[in-house]
Structures are given as C-alpha cells and as structure tokens.
Structure 1
Amino acid sequence: MAELSIPVITIDGPGGSGKGTITQMLARRLGWHLLDSGALYRLTALAALRQGVQFDDEAGLVRVAASLDVSFEPTPAGEPVKVILAGEDVTDDIRTEGCGDNASRVAVIQAVRDALLQRQRDFRQAPGLVADGRDMGTVVFPDAPTKIFLTASPEERARRRYGQLKDAGLSVNIDALLEEIRARDDRDMNRSAAPLKPAEDAQVIDSTGLSIEEVLGRVIAAAGQA
C-alpha cells in the first residue's frame, strides 16, 4: 500500500516521560504530521462520560470510539497540542488526572482499541508522521523505521506532573500523584491488550534527570534526523 512508504517515527512510553512534548517538538522540526494517540483514549473516556456511557458498557464505549469527531491543531512551542472534539477545544478537559485514569481503563478493552486502530493509521500522511503513544511501535505502526521508547522513573514523572499542576494553580499532593502513576503503570504494563513495553527494535531513552533539550537531542540522534 502507498501509505506504507510514508515514514513514521513512533515515540512510546509511560505518562510523564516527556513523549508528548518531544513528539510536538520533533514534528515541528521535521514539518511532519503529529498523532497524539493517547488523546484518542482520553477523548473516548470524556465523550463516554458526557454521553452517559458507563465504563463497563463495552458496546457503548465502542460506539463512542467509532464516532469521535476529533482533530489536532498545532500550538506554540512548549504548549500541548490543541485537541478539538466536535468543534470544541477540550485540550484542558482531557489532561486532568481523572480523565487520564479513565482513559487507562478504556484502553484495556480490546474492542475499543480495534475501533480506534484504523483511525490512528489514517494519520499516516506525507511527508511523514511522528506518533506519540503506548503501542505505536508494537501495534499501530509495527513497520515504522524508527521506534523510540521514552521512559523516566515514577518519582521523576510525579515531580514533573506536580510542577505542571502547581503552575496551573491547582492543589495537588505529590505522594498521591506518585501512587496514581505507579498504579497506572502496573495496569498499562500488565493489561492483556497491547501492554506497555518497548518494541523489540525500539531504542530506549531514559529521560530521568535530563532537560527537554537533552532528550530531544538524543531522540533526533536516534532517529538519524540531526
């Protein structure tokens, strides 16, 4: 198929590893398209809540996932990608800890993952795609020529999230954040549907203690895009 000739760089890893920021920076640098696959699961969770669909209603969740009206819009450097759901900017709504937790629960359902799989692959358009997620290299784009697995310690990721939430003026407990991150990691790594793990041919980069510029430099070098 023609789209298989379009290059893809996958950047997988747990939440808080910096992959979202790195994906945007790399896509902007290369002039490529961007896919925030995690947003699709967050959007499914948010849309389900808004439509009154319970998280144990598999058929209802599949219906929500299959009918998502979503688009991503570029933003200035350092800001999260703008996410539009049915014409509404829901960027902030889907970035809450509660929505992230709900998304992790939705993501364990294979039928939901199947409903979103082709939608993710449709983002593969010329001149290229940088795809951010948890199973981009293992499931969605297994033929991608460059696969990165970006990680960081749970403590580091909790500190980063704590800083983000405090900067946003929110009251947050770092110990509770760390507990949530560890619980989500355990659920994501041990789920039966596409567990969180590096692809066999992925290059693993640990961002613990590194600045975002240092991480970007390592990713660019790994991708051969210097």
Structure 2
Amino acid sequence: MTSIKIAIDGPASSGKSTVAKLIAKKLGYVYLDTGAMYRSATYLALQNDTSLTDERAIVKLLKDYPISFGRRKDDSEQLVFVGDVEVSHPIRENEVTNNVSTVAALPLVRKTLVDLQQQLAKKGGIVMDGRDIGTVVLPDAELKIFLIASVEERAERRYRENLEKGIQTDFNTLKKKLLSVTIRIVIGKFLR
C-alpha cells in the first residue's frame, strides 16, 4: 500500500485531533500535532524570557531547541520534545494556552513551522491536523478532510477538556469566544 499524506482541517474543537489520531493509529501512520509545534514555540519563548512578539528571537530558539516527536513505549501517548527536553504536558498548561495565539500569528514563526511540517510530511504515511493544513501546509495531500461541528458542540468539548485539565472556564464566555474566532476565520477566508 502506498503511504499518503492526510490533511484534516476545521475550526477549534471540531474533533480534528481525535479523528487524526484514530486514522493514524488505524493505518499505522505518523500523527503530527501541528498545534503542539506552536505551543512548543510559545513554551520556549516563555521559558527564555523572550517577548512573545519577537519573531526572530523565537525562530532562533526553534533552531537552538528543535521540535521533535516520539511515543511512549506502550504507544499510549505522543511525546513532544524541544531539544532533548520532553514538554508534552508543560505545553498544555494555562500560561502556554493563554499565549499561543500571539506566537502562532507571527509570520516568521508560521513560515518556519510550516516549512518543518512540510519537510516531515515529504515521505508520506502521515496525518496532520490544524488550520490551513489542506490549503497551506499540505496543499498536495492525497486526502483532505474538513471537519465541522456546531459552536455549541465545540464549546461543550472545549469546556469538558478544560475541566479535565483543572482549568476554570465559564461555558458562555467560551462559547462567545469560539463564535467570535469562527466569524473572524470565515471573514478572513473571503477577504483573501
């Protein structure tokens, strides 16, 4: 069987990661968590007292501490590393979560990480999820999937995830935020 590239796109909390992990496991493919890459860049900036808007300094940190992925021996969890430090859980903590959108919006950081994602995908046998995966990161993917879910369902998913992680969240505020982000993304796509 030929190994292909699979791109899964959609809005926040639409189920992209869940579906991507299931497909990768079923096919024996690599699952590349692109969101973890942006979280890792944010983590590096925070740990090194670097301004979250200093894109050149963040890109330098990414070169000094390359992002890589691994798996637990029992294959139960994907591991994320910056340099030789495992950061799978620290990159999911509140401070990173609250700042990742700032870092992810930096053009030079985006270009650096997209280039890395494309390089990792060259061999095929990979499933990637995230925004713009099918159009920007893997425009040549042999299979592209776009997942959607209602704002209500997405807010419920994110609310449950936050509670499981011990993050206090107001459901209605979360729902309004997801709706606002969705509107900005849709408007942005039409203005391109």
TM-score band w.r.t. shorter chain? 0.7 to 0.9
User: 2:107 aligned to 103, 106, 110, which one?
Assistant: 110
Describe the SS at the equivalent of 1:162. Answer: helix
| Amino acid in the other structure paired with 1:163 | R
Q: Which runs of 5+ in 1 are unaligned?
A: 197-226
| Amino acid in the other structure paired with 2:144 | K
User: 2:173 aligned to 156, 166, 176, which one?
Assistant: 176
| Amino acid in the other structure paired with 1:17 | S
Q: Percent identity?
A: 35
Q: Write the distance in 1 (CA, Å) between the matches of 2:87 and 2:60.
A: 20
Q: Write the distance in 2 (CA, Å) between the matches of 1:42 and 1:153.
A: 25
Asked whether 1:33 is paired with 2:30, we answer yes
Q: Write the distance in 2 (CA, Å) between the matches of 1:96 and 1:182.
A: 23
Who is 1:7 aligned against? 4
Asked whether 1:84 is paired with 2:71, we answer no
Cα deviations across residues 41-97 of structure 1 (Å, max 9, x unaligned)? 1111111111111122222122233444222234678x7633222333322222245
Describe the SS at the equivalent of 1:144. Answer: coil
Larger deviation: 45-54 or 180-189? Answer: 180-189
TM-score scaled by length of structure 2: 0.82
Asked whether 1:133 is paired with 2:130, we answer yes
User: 1:164 aligned to 157, 161, 181, which one?
Assistant: 161
Report deviation, 1:118: 2.1
Cα deviations across residues 74-125 of structure 1 (Å, max 9, x unaligned)? 4678x76332223333222222455234222222222111111221112225
Q: Which runs of 5+ in 2 are unaligned?
A: none
Q: Write the distance in 2 (CA, Å) between the matches of 1:70 and 1:113.
A: 14
Q: Write the distance in 1 (CA, Å) between the matches of 2:142 and 2:171.
A: 38
Cα deviations across residues 191-220 of structure 1 (Å, max 9, x unaligned)? 6xxx69xxxxxxxxxxxxxxxxxxxxxxxx
Q: Write the distance in 1 (CA, Å) between the matches of 2:94 and 2:184.
A: 15
Describe the SS at the equivalent of 2:121. Answer: coil
Report deviation, 1:154: 2.1
Aligned length: 188
User: 1:57 aligned to 54, 57, 63, which one?
Assistant: 54
| Amino acid in the other structure paired with 2:119 | D
TM-score scaled by length of structure 1: 0.71
Larger deviation: 93-102 or 44-53? Answer: 93-102
Report deviation, 1:6: 5.2
| Amino acid in the other structure paired with 1:182 | L
**Bigger proportion of residues as helix:** 2
